Amino acid sequence: MAEIQTTPGKKNSKGKKLSTRVDLTPMVDLGFLLITFFIFTTSIAQPVAMNLIVPDDKPTLDPNTVSADKTITLLLGDNNKVFYYNGFFNNQVQEINFNQLRSVLIEKKLQMLNKYNKNCLNVLIKPNAEASYQNVIDCLDEMIINNISTYVLDEPNEKEIHSLKHTKYK
């Protein structure tokens, strides 16, 4: 508690000299109580992780064999650009924005449903060195949103990189 102590001092013409002493112990106790309260009442942030689908351990006859008409390859470039081609690489690379990616995937998925009566679309995602991490995550999110269960994250080969360089400046 705050208290005023009177101490005898020199007698001046002004009168007695009084000194004050403030006890801050209760204030420190209150501070620690508040810190303890806020520590116990706040929720600790849980780490957020992305679920990755990994391959099975089951042996397969030839895991690399996939029909070309069931495959679409997405080449992720800089400035939110996506280049894609169907089937095998044949220099007919088309350029779209990320806003158009969903409609391209839906269209290809509908083609697979009409032709094979099942969802058998395979997507190869190939980000180049200029692609941002956010674009890769957005592309993986599109796979989940469009219910595409078979997709692979890979590096572009030399032909694809060469084609991207020439497609950019057209």
What's the rounded Cα separation, in Å, for the pair 112 and 121? 6
DSSP code, position 63: T
pLDDT tens by residue, 137-163 = 999 999 999 888 888 888 888 888 877
The SS3 call for residue 20 is strand
Q: What pLDDT shows up at residue 18?
A: 72
What's the rounded Cα separation, in Å, for the pair 131 and 155? 11
Write phi, then psi, for 91 (nearest 5 degrees).
60, 10
What's the rounded Cα separation, in Å, for the pair 152 and 93? 19
Architecture of domain 68-168: 2-Layer Sandwich (3.30)
Per-residue pLDDT tens listing for the chain (170 residues): 556 555 555 555 566 777 778 888 889 999 999 999 988 888 777 777 777 766 667 766 665 666 778 889 999 888 888 889 888 887 688 888 888 899 999 999 998 888 888 888 889 999 988 888 888 999 999 999 988 888 888 888 888 887 777 665 44
What's the rounded Cα separation, in Å, for the pair 85 and 35? 58
